């Protein structure tokens, strides 16, 4: 929905999980010389100022990325993500947070490509200004679900697709599942990362179950809860990232890093994490 602005939530616990997994996936793809594409269906503004405007109102980043920047000992993969954020903030002060487009652009090589979709006119303008001199990036104002169909399969036959709508519109839960099913028909070997919120609404609870029911695909489902769910109250108790066709190394990386994320981001004693793979489910 056009009213949604991710800047209110920039750098919170959900961003930390989503973007940490994104960095892991991008690092894996870059290990081979062959080019790849990154397709971001709901790109947002690309990067966010934290000391003024929307992000400063709720300051959700303080209990998210803000808790990780000063951690001296983190697992290597988690430290890699934190170092990328730290590199955007000169002098050690947390003033900016990179969204998924900015992180992806940082990690792409000259031969790789980034396709960004966003509906909000202000955010599209910001994306265009950020990447106006980057020939690897194409920004499109439009529905990312529809745009995805036109791009698959991508020319290099290697791609990471990030699907992370706001879920303000309840229809997004079904659109996500249908988009993944359709994309797998068009491009069965692609890697798909689907972010989802942990909310009280039934559609949110059912989404990971519907994704785990996908037939004949390898998947990984990682979630992080930071507090006890509050019945009848707004706000996320946590979030998850569901990855279709994950790198074989990702499960081990998450098993090492999720405990550190839980320890750093917990808001109460009910914080926890869950990691499940299709291989474990079928065993």
Active site residues: 164
What are the C-alpha distances in Å from 227 to residues 6, 82, 231? 21, 22, 12
Whether the Cβ atoms of residue 127 and residue 116 lie closer than 8 Å to each other: yes
A 10 A CB-CB count for 3 gives: 7
Among candidate residues 197, 216, 211, the one with its CA nearest the CA of residue 6: 197
Among candidate residues 171, 177, 153, 209, the one with its CA nearest the CA of residue 37: 153
Task: Show the tokens assigned to 53.
Answer: 């405007």
Local structure of 244: helix, strand or coil: strand
Rg over alpha carbons for the chain, rounded to the nearest Å, is 18
Whether the Cβ atoms of residue 133 and residue 82 lie closer than 8 Å to each other: no
Local structure of 139: helix, strand or coil: strand
């Amino acid at each position: 929905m056009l009213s949604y602005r991710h800047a209110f939530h920039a750098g919170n616990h959900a961003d930390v999980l989503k973007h940490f997994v994104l960095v892991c996936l991008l690092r894996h793809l870059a290990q081979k010389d062959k080019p790849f594409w990154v397709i971001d269906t709901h790109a947002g503004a690309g990067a966010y100022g934290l000391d003024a405007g929307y992000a400063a109102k709720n300051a959700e980043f303080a209990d998210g990325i803000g808790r990780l920047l000063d951690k001296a000992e983190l697992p290597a993969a988690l430290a890699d993500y934190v170092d990328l954020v730290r590199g955007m903030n000169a002098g050690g002060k947390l003033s900016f947070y990179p969204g998924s487009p900015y992180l992806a652009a940082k990690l792409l090589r000259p031969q790789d490509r980034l396709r960004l979709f966003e509906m909000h006119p202000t955010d599209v303008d910001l994306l265009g200004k950020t990447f106006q001199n980057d020939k690897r990036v194409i920004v499109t104002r439009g529905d990312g679900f529809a745009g995805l169909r036109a791009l698959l399969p991508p020319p290099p036959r290697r791609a990471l697709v990030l699907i992370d709508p706001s879920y303000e519109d309840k229809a997004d839960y079904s659109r996500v599942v249908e988009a993944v099913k359709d994309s797998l028909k068009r491009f069965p070997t692609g890697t798909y990362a689907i972010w989802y919120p942990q909310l009280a609404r039934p559609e949110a609870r059912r989404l990971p179950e519907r994704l785990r029911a996908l037939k004949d695909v390898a998947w990984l489902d990682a979630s992080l809860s930071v507090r006890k769910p509050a019945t009848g109250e707004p706000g996320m108790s946590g979030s998850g990232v569901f990855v279709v066709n994950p790198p074989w190394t990702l499960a081990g990386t998450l098993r090492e890093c999720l405990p550190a994320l839980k320890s750093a981001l917990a808001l109460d004693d009910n914080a926890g994490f869950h990691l499940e793979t299709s291989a474990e489910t079928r065993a």
